[in-house]
Amino acid sequence: MVKTLTEITFMNQLLKLLNRWKTTSGMLLLLTIFFSSIIDFNVNDPEEMILGKWYAENDSTYIWEFNEGSQHFTYSDDELVSERAWQIVDECEGETADNEEDFAMLEISRGQNVPNQCYVVQGLNGVLTLLAIPQGRLLIFDRENWTDNYATEKATAHQDTIHTGYQVFEPIMPELRDKTIPLRLPSFLDADELTEPQQLYALVDDTPANRYSIQISVLPECNWNNFCIVGAVHGEDVEEEQQPENSQKVSLRKNIEGYFIESVCNAFCNRAKLIWFENNIKYTVEQKAAPKQTMIWIANSAIESSIGS
C-alpha cells in the first residue's frame, strides 16, 4: 500500500520528537540489547499501513526504513527512543502490549474507530498515542513509566534551554523579592511540544506580598489569554488546607500530598492543575493539556529545586 506524504511527514516528526527525549547512558545500553535484532512494524488490519522496520545500527544509532513504490528510504537518529514506551488513557487509546513477550514489537498504525488524525504507537509495556495537529506538529496526551527523577535530571542537565524554569523565571526574580512566602517555581517545564521553537516568558501579576501569580506565555504580554498562555504558577497564604473539588490525590516528593485536576479539551484545551500545601501555603502549577504524570514532575521540581530558593 502506497503511503501518503502526510504519513511520511508524520514519521519524520515522530523521529525528531523521540530524539528530544534522551535518557541516560544506562537506558541506552538496555535499548541496544533490546533492539539488537531487527524489529518489524506489524499490522493485523489490512486497512492499516505497514510503515517499515526499525533496528539498531550500532550502540547509539537507530534506523527506520521503508519502501515508497520502487524507492527505498532510510532515516537514522542517534539515541532515538526511551527505555520504555508510554501508555495512553485517552479516547484515542489503542491495543496495549503489556505482555513481556511483546516488548520487542513496535507498531505504528491508524487506530481503529478513531479520527484520522489519531495515531497509535504500540511498544514497550504500553501505548503512546499522538495526535497530529495543523502544520505537522504533534501533541502528546500522556506518557508513563519514566524514572522518578526524570524531571529533575532533565531540568538540571539543560539549564540553557528556553523551556526550563531556569531561563523562564530568572528574569523576573527581582519582581518577587518582596514576597513573604517561600517561592515554589518549577525548574522543569515540559512544554516543548506546545511551543517549540518559541521562547517562553514569565509574567508576574500585581498581587499582595503574601501571594504570587505568574503566567507562562509565548508572548511578552498575554493577560491570561488562551492563545498565548502555556501555564502558570501560584502561591498564597490560606487559612485552611482543603482538597479542591474534582481533584485526584497524588503523591509528591517529601511526603507531600497533592491534588491533580485534569485538563479538558473542547474548542481549546484548558490548563491542568496540580495543587499542594506547605505550612498553610497553597501552591499551584498549571500547564495547558498536560497529563497527570507531567504535572507531578513539574510540581516535584518546584518542591525539590525551586528557582530562587
Domain locations in the chain?
Answer: 5-140, 150-305
Q: In the predicted model, is pLDDT for residue 76 greater than 90?
A: no
pLDDT for the residue numbered 301? 87
CB 275 within 8 A of CB 244: yes
Note whether 169 and 201 are within 8 A (CB): no
Task: Please state, rounded to an integer, the average pLDDT across all residues of the chain.
Answer: 61
Count of Cβ atoms closer than 10 Å to residue 165 Cβ? 25
pLDDT at 99 over 90: no
Q: What is the mean pLDDT of residues 253-281?
A: 90
For cell 516528593, what's the residue?
253
Residue 256: is its pLDDT beyond 50? yes
Q: Give residue 84's Cα distance to chain centre.
A: 14
Cβ 176 vs Cβ 212: under 8 Å: yes
Residue 265: DSSP 8-state: B
Average pLDDT over residues 264-282: 89
C-alpha span between 47 and 205 (Å, rounded): 53
State residue 305's pLDDT score: 81
CA distance 250 to 246: 13
Flag whether pLDDT at 5 surpasses 70. no
Confidence of residue 161 (pLDDT cuts 50, 70, 90): low
Report helix, strand or coil for 301.
Answer: helix
Per-residue pLDDT at 183 exceeds 80: yes
| Phi, psi (degrees; rounded to nearest 5) at 170 | -55, -40
Greater confidence (124 vs 63) lies with 63
Grid cell, residue 164, equals 526550563
For the ranges 100-104, 127-131, 300-304, which has the lowest average pLDDT? 100-104
What CATH number has the domain spanning 150-305?
3.40.1000
pLDDT (0 to 100) of residue 237:
96
Confidence of residue 270 (pLDDT cuts 50, 70, 90): confident
**What is the identity of the amino acid at 109?**
S
What is the reported pLDDT for 197? 55
Q: Is the pLDDT of residue 29 over 50?
A: no
Strand partners, 73: 66
Confirm if 146 and 291 have CB atoms less than 8 A apart. Answer: no
> Alpha-carbon distance 135 to 263, whole Å?
23
Where residue 145 falls (left for φ over 0; alpha for ψ -120 to 50; beta otherwise) is left
